[in-house]
Amino acid sequence: MPATYEPIATATVASTGGTVTFSSIPSTYTDLILISSARRGVDGSGGDAVKAQVNGDSGSNYSWNGISYNAGGTGASRANNQSIFIAGACEDGIYSTSICHFMNYSNTTTFKTMLTRTSSTGTQGVGTTVNLWRSTTAINSIFLNAASGFYAGSVFTLYGIKAA
Amino acid sequence: MAPILGVIASSISPFINSTSYESIATVNVGSTPQSSITFSSIPSTYTHLQIRCFVMGNTGTSSFMRFNGDTGANYVWHTIYGISSAIGSNSGTSQTGIFANGFNEGFSTTYPTVAVIDILDYTNTNKNKVTRNLNGQDWNSPGSISLASGLWQNTAAINSITIYTSSFTNYSSFALYGIKG
């Protein structure tokens, strides 16, 4: 039986402060899954989201709604017309684990919706976010960044899931 | 800061067995709206199931899930959610279905509603069945995100799953996967 859940690519940050790009993503899958083990590229006491853009789109075409529990307590947040979406979390000093589902990423008829779950401690905490990219274009690249980039050793793996 | 290009993996990850996660069936909704979709004759050869939902619709109501055709009040569900900047929780006991997705606004024909639903140990005849659900939708205001659990108070192995609402519309897709333990 053909593989249903396949690794597409892995990117490991070699130098602290770097960013990550997955390019030439094949359109042959149904969903994508991005798994991150990410640490922010500074030795401080804060953290940031893993901020993402797709297809090089840096316009105000993203939005999200999330819930979280972190050092600041429990809460919900949303943002409209943003230039990035939330693909994970990264703290200072520790590697946080996140998973981001890109649902029906290759269809060319609907907007794109992504579901993110983050597991971290400190400023980012535990949470989940739904993200929207207002474009019907198939996703073929993913750019990942954070304030001060990522720490060396941060790893991002992209998987493809293919429905029958 | 210099971008770092992703590289194509040179070998299959040792942590992924390509035959452990298999596609069982997919239901795509076409131009004629449907009020439900059903996965039937689900094989008992897996350990867990996962349903990945991509939903378009024109109803303000949520969707729910039933097993083995059971329409009785044998379901329970709980959820924590965020609707815009408000966080909350909700639950239903003695329900006729488990909440599936479309928590607050229902569904849209413009903005997708998505869900990843895990059904653990679905063939075990010694346990009631439990589901785990991550779902959400964002319409560039409003939006909602939800983590939900569900319980079917029945120890029977699951052999069919029905997800229903008032109207699933064109481009909705429901994909069922089996995971081997």
Q: What is the mean pLDDT of each run of 10 residues along chain B (181 residues)?
A: 32 49 96 97 97 92 95 97 94 96 85 97 97 96 94 98 95 97 85
Task: Report how many Cβ contacts below 8 Å link chain A to chain B.
Answer: 183
> pLDDT value at position B48?
97
Pick from A5, A15, A58, A143 the residue to mutate for testing the B interface (most B CBs within 10 Å). Answer: A5
pLDDT at B1: 32
pLDDT at B58: 87
Work out the percent of chain A whose per-residue pLDDT is above 90.
90
A120-133 residue pLDDT tens: 887 888 999 999 99
A21 touches chain B (CB under 8 A): yes
CB contact under 8 A, B83 and A65: yes
Is-cis flag, bond preceding A26, omega within 30? no
Q: CB A10 to CB B9 under 8 A?
A: yes
Pairwise CA distance, residues B177 & A51, whole Å: 29
Among the partner residues A1, A107, A113, nearest to B137 by beta-carbon distance? A113
Asked if A163 and B175 come within 8 Å (Cβ–Cβ), the reply is yes
Q: What pLDDT sits at residue A3? A: 72
Higher-confidence position of A79 and B17: A79
pLDDT of residue B18: 57
The answer to whether residue A25 scores a pLDDT higher than 90 is yes
Q: Is the CB of residue B31 less than 8 Å away from at least one CB of chain A?
A: no
The per-residue pLDDT for B2 is 33
Amino acid identity of residue A148, one-letter, is: S
Residue A119 has pLDDT above 90, yes or no: yes
ipTM over 0.85: yes
Interface of B with A in 69-108 (CB under 8 A): 80-87
Is the separation of the CB atoms in B118 and B48 below 8 Å? yes
Q: Is B145 on the interface with A (CB under 8 A)?
A: yes
Residue A105 has pLDDT above 50, yes or no: yes
Which of A12, A70, A78, A161 is the best residue to mutate to test the B interface, defined by the most B CB atoms within 10 Å of its own CB? A78
Token representation of residue B112: 């997708």
Is the pLDDT at A116 greater than 80, yes or no?
Answer: yes
Other C-beta atoms lying within 10 Å of the C-beta of residue B66: 23
What pLDDT shows up at residue A2?
Answer: 55
Considering just the CA atoms, what is the radius of gyration of chain A in Å? 15
Nearest-CA distance B8 → chain A (Å): 4
Q: Is B3 on the interface with A (CB under 8 A)?
A: yes
What is the pLDDT at residue A121?
Answer: 82
Q: Do B4 and A3 touch (CB under 8 A)?
A: no
Pairing, β A19-22 against β B3-5: parallel
Residue A48 near residue A40 (C-beta atoms within 8 A): yes
**For the whole prediction, is pTM greater than 0.90?**
yes
The pLDDT of residue B61 is 84
Give the pLDDT confidence score for residue B145 in this predicted structure: 96
Strands of A47-54's sheet in order across: A85-91, A47-54, A142-145, A19-22, B3-5
